[in-house]
Structure 1
Amino acid sequence: MSNVLRVELRNGIAVFTLDRPDRLNAIGTDTVEQLKRALEDVRGDDDVRAVVVAGAGRAFSAGPDLGEIESFTTPGPFRAFVGRLTEAYALLEDFPKPSVAAVHGFAFGGGLELALACDLRVAERGARLGLPEMKLGVLPGAGGTQRLPRLVPPAVAKEMILTGEPIDADRARQVGLVNEVAEPGGALAAAEALAARLAAGAPLALAAGKRLVDYGLGMDLEAAIAYERETVAVLFCTEDRIEGLKAFRERRPGEFRGV
């Protein structure tokens, strides 16, 4: 298995870089397995507080490895491939530490689906984001049809999915697909700066905040608010909550330890 994912630790942030620039960071089985392993490696590392996902070379990712897909001669292997992809993206989405995608060039198909699995997204001005599978006679199969309309208005999601046409970073910001637009060449630095702001937060509260938003969207409002109430009550008992109040009174940044 070739090394197609580079992992670097920078000031409490794990930077995962898709590293197949000669293939525009096409995502194959190797990438999926290495992404899963990287997530497992940093999950229990208390020094890692946030994750940034980026791409080497000219683009974030062109999507799934078409060469690998074209080697499948029956639906079974393709279904298994999509299953592995979906599983890896679910691990990223459910990861207890916040994640930020740094998009440059373009993020298409499975590449955009990878970015959608992150909590937040930064894109360079001029970058294009899209789900072009319709033009190949298929549809996104690794969460694109479900995560996209949870981020943008359904009509925008349908436009992107049913036409297969990409949108640029500025429109992506307008519709809520990306959180920040960086100048050309600045996506990674902007994503790391955003991740650093997240990493400064209390780890238990960060993980709980992710769960409240993600799980609460699938509940009715009354149940979601009850879930919120119980979660906040648990956080009230943590040492980080005590430290947070003390730091506020002393007008200094909190020193959170995840306890």
Structure 2
Amino acid sequence: MRTVLRVELRNGTAVLTLDRPERLNAVGTDTVEQLTKALHDLRGNDDVRAVVLAGAGRAFSAGADLGEIESFTSPGQFRAFVGRLTEAYALLEDFPKPSVAAVHGFAFGGGLELALACDLRVAERGARLGLPEMKLGVLPGAGGTQRLPRLLPTAIAKEMILTGEPIDAERAWQLGLVNEVAEPGVALAAAEALAARLAAGAPLALAAGKRLVDHGLGMDLEAAIAYERETVTVLFCTEDRIEGLKAFRERRPGNFRGA
């Protein structure tokens, strides 16, 4: 199997790069399998505090591999492919370490769905983000119709899904879909800088913060606040909490160990 996902460790950040530039980083079975393996391997690596997703070549990703999809001869094959894709993206979304997508060129279809599964997104000025499946007579199948409306106003998400028209990075930033707009050529560097800020935090608190936001949104407010209370009580008992207070008093960065 050809390597279509590069994994590099840089100062506490794992940079995962989609590496099929000749196919505009189309996401196929090989990509899904290698992404799944990488996330499983990195999950238990205490040296990794954050993850960056990027794309090689001219774009982040053109979406799912249409050539592979066209080879399917039954709905069952397509369903299995979408299932594997969905599971990989869910693994990224539930990853205990924060993730940042570095978008350049464009992120379409399954490529945008990959970026949506990340916690944060950086996009280069002029980059385009969209779900064009409607123009092919189908719909996004790896979380796009569900994650996008959770990040954008409902009417805007519906417009993108139902027309298939993309938006540019500046508009995405205005709407809150993108956390930062970077100058052309520096999306990856900007994403790594953002990941480094995240990686400086206490690992247990980072993981807990992700869970509180992601799971709390599905609860009623009273239950979510109770969940928050129990979570911060657990964090109060950690060594990192003691180190954080000590670092604050000594006016220095915390030396967090995830304990």
TM-score by length of 1: 1.00
- SS across alignment from 1:7: strand
Q: Deviations over 1:107-160 (max 9, x none)?
A: 000000000000000000000000000000000000000000000100110010
User: What residue is the counterpart of 1:247 in the other structure?
Assistant: 247
In structure 1, the gaps of 5 or more residues are none
Q: Does 1:105 align with 2:66?
A: no
- Could you tell me how far 1:2 is from its partner in structure 2? 1.1
Deviations 1:12-43 (A, max 9, x none): 00000000000000000000000000001111
Three-state SS of the structure 2 residue aligned to 1:123 is strand
Distance 1:159 1:138 in 2: 15
Q: Deviations over 1:32-59 (max 9, x none)?
A: 0000000011111111000000000000
Cα distance in 2 for residues equivalent to 1:126 and 1:82? 29
Check if 1:120 corresponds to 2:120. Answer: yes
2:218 matched residue in structure 1:
218
Distance (whole Å) between structure 1 residues aligned to residue 80 and residue 30 of structure 2: 14
Cα distance, 1:60 vs. partner? 0.1
Taking the aligned partners of 1:2 and 1:155, their CA distance within structure 2 comes to 41
The 4+ residue runs of structure 1 with deviation greater than 2 A are none
Q: Which residue of 2 aligns with 1:22?
A: 22
Q: What is the match of residue 191 of structure 2?
A: 191
User: 2:175 maps to what in 1?
Assistant: 175
CA distance in 1, matches of 2:156, 2:201: 33
Cα displacement (A) at 1:223: 0.3
Structure 2 unmatched ranges of 5 or more: none
Q: 2 CA distance for matches of 1:177 and 1:134?
A: 20
Q: Does 1:89 align with 2:89?
A: yes
RMSD between superposed Cα atoms in Å: 0.3
Q: Percent identity?
A: 90
Indicate the SS of the match to 2:155.
helix
Deviations 1:166-200 (A, max 9, x none): 00000000011100000000100000000000000
User: 1-side partners of 2:175 and 2:145: how far apart?
Assistant: 16
Shift of 1:73: 1.2
2:62 is matched with 62
2:47 counterpart of 1:47: yes
Matches of 1:77 and 1:244, distance apart in 2: 51
Instruction: Tell me how far apart the structure 2 counterparts of residues 216 and 186 of structure 1 sit (CA, whole Å).
Output: 34
